[in-house]
Amino acid sequence: MRLFSKQCQAVVFLLMTSSFAAAQTNTLSPQQAATMSSDNKAIIVDVREDDEWNAHHIPGAIHIPLGQLNERLTELEPYKNSPVITQCRSGKRSAKAQLALMSAGFSKVYTMNGGIQAWDEQGLATE
């Protein structure tokens, strides 16, 4: 019985670490996000609040604050089977948005590492 318990623990550990590794592959650098967006291979969804968006944002991004995401999923429906990149200030809210979109059936969802702060640090364009 004790051996079975250790085997179960090992399986649970492997499942947890492999899903963590899989989640890590769904992140992009700001440069990768910029390239995918400019090549029309992905859309960027900015989940920051209105005041953050108004201060500056990525050209061409779609603005849907995280708190409104579930109610506004229909706006993103045309992109359900296309790459979608979530972005916020530093990466925390965009990770939550990524999970919400994946739960809603979006098939190719990425989050941008470091958010708009990292985008700015790399000297990428904003408006």
Residue of 61, 66, 76, 88 with catalytic role = 88
**Hey, which residues does 59 pair with through a beta bridge?**
none
88 is catalytic: yes
d(CA 95, CA 108): 14
Q: In CATH terms, is domain 27-121 a member of 3.40.250.10?
A: yes
Indicate whether 16 pLDDT > 70.
no
pLDDT per position as a tens digit, 46-78 = 999 999 999 999 999 999 999 999 999 999 999
CB-CB contact of 69 with 109 (8 Å):
no
pLDDT at 6: 53
CB-CB contact of 29 with 87 (8 Å):
no
Q: Strand, coil or helix: what is 49?
A: coil
pLDDT at 76: 97
Domain-wise residue ranges, the chain: 27-121
Q: Which two tokens stand for residue 2?
A: 């004790």
